[in-house]
Amino acid sequence: MKKVSSQYDHLSEIREIKQLTQLLELMMSMNQARYFLERIKRTKLVAAMEWVYEADGNLLAFVIAYGRGFVSAGPGRTVLKPGQVYGSDEKLTKMHEEIMHFRNRKYAHHEDNILTTVVGYQVSPTEDGELILSPQLQLGLPLDSYDRYDPVLRRMHEYLYDRQKELLERASVKIGRKIVMQPGPGPTWASDEMDVLD
């Protein structure tokens, strides 16, 4: 697709607009994290491996999307520091560290199994002398425990939107004309408490 040239092409060269582009990518990652956190919270427990795979996949997607903002990235990408976002709020910082622990130890390096653990086997002998092992799994995190991450994502969104506002104001001063971001409706899957900030 050919890019259409306009009188506003020079905006892409303004440093704040370049930073805004990076910020919007982080916002998309945080929206993905919100989406998968909502899916986790709406999951109904079913005693089947398909449920384990679905829950584990949603948790994986949540921690990877959330963690993108805090890990080293490619050239020109923004990397946040927890202190920037959460300040001195120890509770939010601790929750952030827990999410990053999931990311680093379970998913990136496969050192922990957060969601399920094999705690033993049920052994059943067959008529021909074979032994059938049936793994017994223990659920690591109850589904109702994920609500506690809502304040972390809420604060992250507040930080990103404050930063967006700041960048737009600085770019407006540079060109001598007000620049605003086009608003849009919040996603239909977002809970009322996590509604998109204005």
| Model pLDDT for residues 65-102, shown as the tens digit of each residue | 999 889 876 776 778 899 999 999 999 999 999 889 88
Residue of 113, 116, 143, 121 lying closest to 49 (CA atoms): 116
Would the pLDDT of 147 be above 60?
yes
Residue 143 has pLDDT above 80, yes or no: no
Q: In terms of pLDDT, which residue wins out, 46 or 16?
A: 16
In 3D space, the residue among 22, 16, 11 whose CA is nearest the CA of residue 160 turns out to be 22
